[in-house]
Amino acid sequence: MTTRLLSSALLLASLAAAVSLPAHADSVASSASSAGSASSGSISDSIGGSSNSSNRDKRVAAGDYEVIDIAQAPAKANTTRLTLRAVAAGAGHDFTLDVPDRALAARQVAAGAIVHVNERVYGYEFAYADSKQPFFLALQDDWYRELGSRQVTI
């Protein structure tokens, strides 16, 4: 009987710890785990206005975007710049997305391909439209800073 009580207490403690996780960490973790090999970056470092666009803000609408250009990102080693244009007429402006090459290692993106964007509480999830498989997460700057690695001292 004592073993059963101890096991129940440990189970309840584990559940309480799981429930008390911060909500944003939990949602990023679930997207990151579904993303498989997806990598992440901050919105300020990853999303830019197109040189053809008069609007250079960092806002992106959820939906499908056609890849209209692919190039090496200027002054960013091992980074590919995708220029994306909304598929739906009047759905938004062109923008650029700088993606680490490692995020595209398993599957390249070609000109003319469609990328699906999901707006999340933590930022934006970029996925291949045909499979909905995420390949990159553009995180709000404060979220990105929270995920940064830190040295642990004892």
Instruction: Say if residues 38 and 132 touch (Cβ distance below 8 Å).
Output: no
Tell me the whole-structure pTM to 2 decimals. 0.67
**Phi, psi at 49, each rounded to 5°:** -75, 145
Q: Where are the domains of the chain?
A: 24-146
Q: Specify the pLDDT at position 152.
A: 65
Who contacts 24 (Cβ-Cβ below 8 Å, separation ≥6)?
121, 122, 143, 146
Per-residue pLDDT of the chain (154 residues; tens, 9 = 90+): 444 333 333 333 333 333 333 444 444 444 444 444 458 887 888 888 755 444 445 578 899 999 999 999 999 999 999 999 999 876 667 899 999 999 999 999 999 999 999 999 889 999 999 999 999 998 887 655 565 555 666 7
* DSSP helix/strand/coil, 121: coil
